[in-house]
Structure 1
Amino acid sequence: MRYQLELTLRHAEGALARVLGTAERRGFRPVSVDGEAQPDGDRWHLRMTVEGERSDESLQQQLAKLYDCLSVEVVPCP
């Protein structure tokens, strides 16, 4: 199953690596990653597509626990 993730991250060193590592450890394979800095410069908006057989809820819950992750939304891709 393929999922689209919309995340807001703190602009911190290693934030992207922590998000990617968490997704991979939960059994999801990143397919695409796109991001941009917010105008205030303290946050990043990240769009990521992942594939995996596990529930999207497990990934959303684990990403939400990351200190750098301010918000996360997971939507199944059509």
Structure 2
Amino acid sequence: MFGPLFRPENQTLSCWREIMTQIQLKLRPTEGALLRVIGVTERRGYPLLHVDAHSGDEHMSVSLSVKNNRPIPLLLNQLNKLHDVYFAEVKV
């Protein structure tokens, strides 16, 4: 149907899906370390889906699941700059 009143329907991509990435971190077991990691993650635009943390005497193991529409290396770079982070890497 064509004419002055014809408006094509809005088409959305049916193949669109959000990408989830798991990040593994090892932190110093200091007060506020986990809170700083969560804060940086959310401020950088990566919404958290799941956080799992296990504390030991020498370090704290943390697993984050984030939604990402942005490159993950940007987030890893920021997390690795935190003083309490021994390392942050993508869990394969």
TM-score normalised by L of structure 1: 0.88
Runs of 4+ in 1 over 6 A off after TM superposition: none
Matches within 5 A, 1:31-46: 31-38=49-56, 41-46=57-62
Query: Secondary structure of the equivalent of 2:35?
Result: helix
Distance verdict in 2 for CA 1:55–1:75, change over 3 Å = farther
**How far, CA to CA, are the matches of 1:34 and 1:23 in structure 2?**
14
Residue identity opposite 1:37 in structure 2: S
Alpha carbon RMSD of aligned pairs, Å?
A: 1.2
Cα drift, residue 75 of structure 1 = 4.2
Higher relative contact order (CA 8 A, sep 6+): 1
Could you tell me which residue of structure 2 aligns to residue 27 of structure 1?
45
For residue 74 of structure 2, the aligned residue among 41, 58, 72 is 58
Q: Distance between the aligned counterparts of 1:4 and 1:52, measured in 2?
A: 10
After superposition, give the CA deviation of every residue in 1:19-49 in whole Å (9 maximum; x if it has no partner): 00100111001100111123xx021010110
Select the structure that is richer in strand: 1
Unaligned 5+ segments in structure 2 are: 1-18
2:88 is aligned with 1:72: yes
Greater Cα radius of gyration, structure 1 or 2: 2
